[in-house]
Chains A and B, each alone.
Chain A
Amino acid sequence: MDYLKNLFATRWGIILVGAFIGVLAPLLQKLGNPPNMGICVACMERDIAGALGFHRVDVVQYMRPEIIGFVLGSFLSALLFKEYRPRGGSAPFIRFILGMFAMIGALTFLGCPWRTILRLAGGDLNAIFGLLGLIFGVFIGTIFFRMGYSLGRSQGFPYKAAGLGFPLLMLICLVLLLIDTPYPGTNKGEFLFFSIKGPGSQHAPIFISLLVGLFIGVLAQRSRFCTMGAFRDVILFKEFHLFSGVASFFLFALVTNLILGQFNLGFENQPIAHTMQLWNFLGMSLAGLCFALAGGCPGRQLFLSGEGDGDAAIFATGMIIGAAVAHNFGLAASPKGIGPHTPEAIILGFIICLAIGLTMRTKKA
């Protein structure tokens, strides 16, 4: 059948994609990315927010090429395989809000679903609570779906250029990264901020990060890889297709970490992690709920953006702005624990998600 032309969308195809990601992410860590953070869409979008000066936390400012690669790789793949389709208009500002709170939740746990899996694969047992939170948040999302929740239909745009915005923005960010350097002894270049200490200063070589990002962008676009969808489909439909990709991701990351000596089992003193388990759980619950309501994990939103999906681009933008809000307002956690206003933000996020889930429903006959 025609649809089998896309081998990466088959069961073995997505397992292979998970394997590639599971090997490449720990390798990025070995080559300089922060520990248990070979890839973290939330943390890296936060670093991009810092690089652009949207927040001024000087330890997390860096224009992460991986994120740029995800979008551009997906864009190139979509063009090549004729799946580039500019579209949007499905409650975009609601998606922006969901993106913001997804990031606030993720920065409470200190990771997105991708980093949840990588932290577990690195032996960080605090991530168990994050994973449970993610599953719980997705579960709440499925309840809303069963009640008829929908953000409405998107429309195709008649002009091909309409979907170029986010890929173009990422390209501009890449150019800035390539032409700018920080003034000696400072964290500021002509345009961008560059951390000179902390996780923002830890990064693999630019071109390796970019190449890996591009490669994963292509694979993920072809395979429709989605870490949130993996759990959602098991809960909603007992369907394990996406889950098999995520399981493969975890297993290959675990083995790669063991080989590279990047596995350290325990709760205490884990890198870029805290042990406030209630907030690890609640943070990822909120994030998981937001991803579920928006239709994709943060990686998937980037890959969709590359395909020309304006709604996904707005969600991703919401995440970047959410990172700025989180750090500027004391909402983000750190290895020392949650921020001074994290609890209020998490509660507010759940109230808003509840309102969105309950009010945006198609009437059942």
Chain B
Amino acid sequence: MVEVVDARGLSCPEPVLRTLEAIKALEKGELEIWVDNPTSRENVIRAAKSLGWEVVEIKELPDSFKVVIRKS
């Protein structure tokens, strides 16, 4: 089961904070992050990569973005 972080509608820096909290709790595996603006998408991707997580999917939906990251 994939862990999901729903950061839609949240102001900076909450999307990154919630992503980092989830990363810390999970340690490895797959994480799905939902944001609703390009800035949060960029910030979350940058944060994930800085901790060695790989971005496996970025999907643009009508009102949001889904970012899937993974660490083996």
Residues of A near any B CB (own CB < 8 A): 1-3, 6, 9, 83, 85, 87, 90, 145-146, 150-156, 224, 226, 229, 232-233, 236-237, 239, 241, 294-296, 311
Closest B residue to A88 using CB positions: B9
Alpha-carbon gap, A244 to B42, bound state (A) = 16
Shortest CB-to-CB span from B3 to chain A, Å, is 14
In the complex, the answer to whether A90 meets B11 with C-beta atoms within 8 Å is: yes
In the complex, the answer to whether B42 meets A156 with C-beta atoms within 8 Å is: no
Chain A contacts for B17, CB-based, 8 A: 145-146, 236
In the complex, the answer to whether A3 meets B58 with C-beta atoms within 8 Å is: yes
Given contacts A1-B58, A85-B37, contact A229 B13 (CB under 8 A): yes
Cβ < 8 Å to A, chain B residues 21-52? 36-39, 41-42, 45-47, 50
Closest B residue to A224 using CB positions: B39
Closest B residue to A292 using CB positions: B13
Chain A contacts for B39, CB-based, 8 A: 9, 224
In the complex, the answer to whether B11 meets A237 with C-beta atoms within 8 Å is: no
Given contacts A237-B47, A239-B50, contact A3 B42 (CB under 8 A): yes
The 7 closest A-B pairs by CB, nearest first: A153-B9, A295-B11, A154-B9, A295-B12, A224-B39, A9-B42, A156-B63
In the complex, the answer to whether A3 meets B45 with C-beta atoms within 8 Å is: yes
The reply to whether the CB of B20 lies closer than 8 angstroms to some CB of chain A is: yes
Shortest CB-to-CB span from B61 to chain A, Å, is 12
Chain A contacts for B38, CB-based, 8 A: 3, 6, 9, 83
Alpha-carbon gap, A37 to B56, bound state (A) = 46
In the complex, the answer to whether A2 meets B58 with C-beta atoms within 8 Å is: yes
Alpha-carbon gap, A274 to B20, bound state (A) = 41
Shortest CB-to-CB span from A40 to chain B, Å, is 22
Closest A residue to B14 using CB positions: A150
In the complex, the answer to whether B42 meets A151 with C-beta atoms within 8 Å is: no
Can you show 12 pairs from A to B with CB atoms below 8 A apart?
A: A1-B58, A2-B60, A3-B38, A83-B38, A87-B36, A152-B9, A153-B10, A154-B9, A155-B9, A233-B13, A236-B13, A239-B47
The reply to whether the CB of B70 lies closer than 8 angstroms to some CB of chain A is: no
Given contacts A1-B58, A236-B17, A237-B20, contact A224 B42 (CB under 8 A): yes
Given contacts A237-B47, A239-B46, A241-B46, contact A145 B13 (CB under 8 A): yes
In the complex, the answer to whether B10 meets A156 with C-beta atoms within 8 Å is: no
Alpha-carbon gap, A90 to B38, bound state (A) = 18
Given contacts A145-B14, A237-B16, A241-B46, contact A90 B9 (CB under 8 A): yes
The reply to whether the CB of B71 lies closer than 8 angstroms to some CB of chain A is: no
The reply to whether the CB of B5 lies closer than 8 angstroms to some CB of chain A is: no
Alpha-carbon gap, A236 to B16, bound state (A) = 10
The reply to whether the CB of B4 lies closer than 8 angstroms to some CB of chain A is: no
Alpha-carbon gap, A186 to B63, bound state (A) = 51
Given contacts A6-B38, A9-B42, A239-B47, contact A151 B11 (CB under 8 A): yes
Shortest CB-to-CB span from B17 to chain A, Å, is 6
Chain B contacts for A154, CB-based, 8 A: 9-11
Shortest CB-to-CB span from A52 to chain B, Å, is 28
